[in-house]
Amino acid sequence: MKTLIIALLITGLLIVSCKNEGNNPIDDKDPLPNETQNPGQGQPGIIGLSGIEAWDKLSSDEKNKIKSWNTIFMHQSVGGDLEDGANANGFKFEYFDRNEKPDKGLSGNVFSVSNGNPMGKMAEFKELALVHQSLVKIAIFKFGYADINDANLEQVKLAYKKMVDELRTQIQGLRFVHITPPLIYIVTKDDGNAAKMKMGEWMKNTFKDKDVIFELQEIESDNGTCKLGNVWTICNQYRSTTACPSKEQGVDAPEGQGHICEKEAKRIVKALLYSIYQVGK
């Protein structure tokens, strides 16, 4: 009889213990892979060539953090090369638009406005960002290589600053990754690269203390190693050629375009991914 009583007491204690364990929530568990999170404070600055190696040195856990921050990336052709490169690295930008919500972490879309119309692109970007203002945490706008020239440079600067300021005011806590405009391949004469370089310098001087700038021009030109006179150009070995074409854009003309070859896009985009990491870590 005494043995039976002891056994019943032990059983009762075990049941109470199990119930108590079930009522204690675990607060420090890692988020599930498909859960979105708010980014951290971030670290502003300029990310160029060094960002490629810096990304490679991150652990998988650190890299995967960017998948949980709702980020919108809008672009056209060269941006498509970068998206393809990101996908090849295991970081896919999911499609979003006015109706498809950017609520899955990294999200991307191509401007409906044509290249050469930077004002239209900025209007479209602002509109979509505001449509999804309750979701968007990080915003990335990319100019095309045909968007900026000597004639419109100052106008584009003013419009871009206005767009950024208005979005920052209307979307609390919004972070930006700015991208220096992509270069074209020049052999005989400059066709807008000098203006794009001026835009890039202005971006760095204006936003480097608050946001992250992805210095695409530095990477495309090997920090000015590839140039015509004093004007930087995308290096021949990085652009889309028959030896190494862009995945989606085909082979570039001998001069005047600036798409990125598929192999190099996979390498170059690491600095963009690291820029996202820096702005949200």
Please give, one letter per residue, the 3-state secondary structure of 205-239: HHHCCCCEEECHHHHHCCCCCCEECCEECCCCCCE
Is residue 277 within 8 Å of residue 65, measured between CB atoms?
yes
Is residue 119 within 8 Å of residue 134, measured between CB atoms?
no
Other beta carbons within 10 angstroms of residue 150's beta carbon come to: 11
Amino acid occupying residue 249: Q
| pLDDT score at 14 | 42
| pLDDT score at 223 | 98
CA pair distance 57, 267, nearest whole angstrom: 14
| pLDDT score at 250 | 93
| CATH number reported for the structural domain that contains residue 234 in this entry | 3.40.50.1110
Structural domain includes residue 185: yes
Structural domain includes residue 19: no
Within 13 Å and on the Cβ side, how many CA atoms surround 252? 28
pLDDT tens digit sequence for 153-176: 999 999 999 999 999 999 999 999
Is residue 102 within 8 Å of residue 70, measured between CB atoms?
yes
With a pLDDT cut of 70, the percent of the chain lying above it is 88
Only one residue has tokens 């896009």, namely: 265
Structural domain includes residue 32: no
The whole domain housing 140 covers: 48-280
In this predicted structure, the answer to whether residue 137 has a pLDDT above a threshold of 90 is yes
With a pLDDT cut of 90, the percent of the chain lying above it is 86
Angle of helix 118-131 versus helix 153-170 axis, rounded to 10: 0
CA pair distance 108, 91, nearest whole angstrom: 11
Structural domain includes residue 10: no
pLDDT tens digit sequence for 208-264: 999 999 999 999 999 999 999 999 999 999 999 999 999 999 999 999 999 999 999
Structural domain includes residue 147: yes
On average, the pLDDT of the chain sits at 91
What is the value of pTM for the model shown? Answer: 0.88
| pLDDT score at 35 | 74
Structural domain includes residue 225: yes
Helix (H) or strand (E) holding 201: helix 193-207
Task: Categorize the per-residue pLDDT at 34 as very low, low, confident or very high, splitting at 50, 70 and 90.
Answer: low
CA pair distance 30, 64, nearest whole angstrom: 12
What's the number of domains the chain is made of? 1
CA pair distance 16, 13, nearest whole angstrom: 5
Task: Categorize the per-residue pLDDT at 119 as very low, low, confident or very high, splitting at 50, 70 and 90.
Answer: very high
| pLDDT score at 21 | 41
Structural domain includes residue 270: yes
Is residue 141 within 8 Å of residue 119, measured between CB atoms?
no
Dihedral of CA 269/274/279/281: which sign? positive
Angle of helix 50-57 versus helix 262-280 axis, rounded to 10: 70
More confident residue, 185 or 30: 185
Structural domain includes residue 254: yes
| pLDDT score at 70 | 98
Task: Categorize the per-residue pLDDT at 56 as very low, low, confident or very high, splitting at 50, 70 and 90.
Answer: very high
